[in-house]
């Protein structure tokens, strides 16, 4: 049996959400604890090859799903993936549906976000180094297109485009809230995509979100209210489809990875004059923003423990 040669330009970072705690079939897998200047990430990464493509996986909620959405250190997670040298990030998340057509078991390619979270560290930048990234188009169209094609090949029913509304949780919505989000134009609801997507843009990492529908949220009074048992049952059913999608994705990646706009998102985003930048903050930003601050590449992968 012939083995396809590695495609070194692609290095996929996979963020696994509810129900996706590992990647099946990862070759030469190594678990590595990577240190971040933004605190502790959700856990170690697992890096290896899938179909000849370098893949680095991080479980968003940590081992055994011990972190609730608001307690995830999103900055550390994205900083760690950047330090590992990933070129693109695919997030996989369980969501509730706000649309009749998006049924439990379906897959949704998100292209827009409404952020209703609060109190989360939503930027790598701050006093001492101010940056404003463009975010009108928050996901990478190329990566989303590739993921969508892979999901269909894997046998999934795929919806695109879609708007994701992010809430803090950990509780599910009231019926009134769910109905309101529908009127706002949201299609699916979740608790983790923000500030994850924003931080990927600041780190110059193209981002796509594959949402796995688990329930109909609370807007339809004709259905039983959503509960954790319902969600968990559908999460287990969705997991196999997600695994098949990942295998199809790596098999179909182009041999060459052409640049995309997100690769240079910080090019004109830094507002603080070089002389006014805080050296301590610059040191923390060495991975996510080193390319534009000092011409250096991302920091070397740092193992700890």
Catalytic residues: 215, 217
Helix (H) or strand (E) holding 233: helix 228-252
By three-state DSSP, how is residue 97 classified?
strand
Torsion 51-54-60-62 (CA) sign: positive
Which residue in the block uniquely carries the two structure tokens 């996901």?
139
Which residue in the block uniquely carries the two structure tokens 């295998």?
247
Q: In degrees, to the nearest 5, what angle opens at C-alpha 29 toward C-alphas 27 and 30?
A: 165
- Nearest Cα to 206, choosing from 269, 146, 291? 146
Distance in angstroms (rounded) separating the CA atoms of residues 246 and 142: 15
CA distances to 2, 84, 133, 170, 251 from 35, in Å: 37, 10, 25, 27, 31
Distance in angstroms (rounded) separating the CA atoms of residues 218 and 176: 8
Query: Which pairing describes strands 163-166 and 112-115: parallel, antiparallel, or unpaired?
Result: parallel
Distance in angstroms (rounded) separating the CA atoms of residues 159 and 204: 26
Distance in angstroms (rounded) separating the CA atoms of residues 261 and 139: 11
Distance in angstroms (rounded) separating the CA atoms of residues 54 and 173: 38
């Amino acid at each position: 049996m012939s083995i396809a040669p590695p495609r070194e330009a692609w290095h996929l970072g996979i963020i696994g959400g509810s129900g996706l705690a590992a990647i099946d079939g990862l070759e030469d897998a190594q678990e590595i604890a990577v240190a971040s200047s933004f605190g502790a990430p959700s856990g170690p990464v697992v890096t290896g090859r899938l179909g000849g493509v370098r893949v680095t996986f991080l479980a968003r909620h940590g081992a055994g799903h011990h972190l609730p959405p608001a307690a995830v250190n999103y900055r550390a997670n994205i900083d760690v993936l950047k330090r590992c040298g990933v070129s693109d990030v695919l997030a996989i998340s369980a969501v509730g549906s706000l649309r009749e057509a998006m049924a439990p078991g379906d897959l949704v390619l998100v292209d827009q976000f409404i952020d209703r979270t609060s109190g989360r560290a939503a930027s790598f930048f701050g006093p001492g180094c101010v940056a404003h990234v463009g975010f009108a188009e928050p996901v990478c169209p190329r990566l989303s297109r590739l993921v969508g094609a892979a999901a269909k090949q894997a046998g999934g029913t795929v919806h695109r485009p879609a708007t994701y509304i992010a809430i803090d949780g950990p509780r599910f919505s009231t019926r009134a809230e769910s109905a309101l989000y529908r009127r706002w134009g949201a299609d699916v609801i979740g608790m983790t995509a923000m500030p994850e997507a924003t931080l990927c843009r600041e780190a110059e990492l193209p981002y796509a979100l594959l949402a796995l529908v688990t329930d109909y949220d609370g807007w339809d009074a004709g259905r039983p209210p959503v509960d954790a048992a319902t969600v968990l049952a559908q999460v287990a059913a969705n997991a196999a489809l997600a695994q098949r999608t990942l295998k199809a994705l790596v098999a179909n990646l182009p041999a060459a990875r052409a640049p995309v706009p997100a690769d240079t998102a910080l090019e004109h985003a830094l507002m603080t004059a070089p002389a006014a930048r805080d050296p301590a903050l610059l040191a923390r930003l060495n991975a996510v923003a080193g390319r534009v601050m000092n011409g250096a590449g991302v920091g070397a992968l740092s193992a700890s423990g």
